[in-house]
Amino acid sequence: MSAKLKLPLELRSRTFSQERARKTYEGLVEAGEKVFVDKGYDATQTPDIAAEAGVSVGSFYRYFTDKREIFLEIMRRDLTVAHEQVMAKLTPEHLTGKGRRQTIEEILNITLANINRHPGMQRILLEMALRDKEVAQLKHAFDVESQGRIAELISAICTKDQVADPKATAYVIHITAVECAIRIAGERGALPVSRERAKAALTQVIDRAVFGHAIED
């Protein structure tokens, strides 16, 4: 099962014939992420991003039409990194035998690390997905892709007796894992239990949901 993400063409990165143009573009994206985290989406203006990148406002508009377009590119990149890191671990080889508990824990750790890397961007993504159809489309594309891959994996490693409906199970596991990871990362306030206890419980829930019983250590 390939770990490469397949997204609609309009959501993929552009290419450049000149290295200088590529570096300017990358600098704007990096600057945009910093400014969005520091100021929030609504307060951020294109001159702020241009200034952070050390280029003119005119240069900004040669690469992006507005702040929404650069925000979408930033989120596409962040989501792609998170997705591909998780999918590299989410294979039948990693989820057979006693190694599956460790693999589930590693996947949760990767998810938490990506959320903690730029927690401000995670908050903005969730907020904007409720307000902006383009952001919602981007998030939806990644959610559907991830859930489809999980369903394929469940079908490959589980019998019908273990999981009668892989697609529905994948949907529930994905939503549960992402939401719990956001909470464990502290994005919904203080936890009533330790992070370690929460991660251990989530690992067991996922293991039981797929395999029917927790594996013996």
Same domain, 103 and 164: yes
151 token code pair: 């369903």
Point out the domain boundary residue: 29, 64, 99: 64
Same domain, 187 and 128: yes
Question: 210 near 154, Cβ under 8 Å?
Answer: yes
CATH assignment of the domain containing 112:
1.10.357.10
Confidence tier at 213 by pLDDT (50, 70, 90): low
pTM recorded for the entire structure? 0.77
| Position 142 in a domain | yes
**Phi and psi at residue 11, in whole multiples of 5°?**
-100, 5
Same domain, 52 and 102: no
Same domain, 41 and 99: no
- pLDDT at residue 42 above 60? yes
Total domain count, the chain: 2
Same domain, 39 and 77: no
The answer to whether the Cα torsion of 98, 103, 106, 108 is positive or negative is negative
Same domain, 129 and 96: yes
pLDDT in tens, 75-107: 988 888 888 888 787 777 777 666 677 778 878
| Position 2 in a domain | no
Read off the DSSP letter of residue 189.
B
pLDDT of residue 62: 94
Question: 66 near 46, Cβ under 8 Å?
Answer: yes
Same domain, 166 and 101: yes
Same domain, 50 and 127: no
CA distance 164 to 46: 50
CATH assignment of the domain containing 24:
1.10.10.60
Same domain, 57 and 140: no
Q: What is each CA distance from 184 to 3, 106, 129, 149, in whole angstroms?
A: 26, 15, 21, 24
Same domain, 45 and 132: no
31: containing domain: 13-64
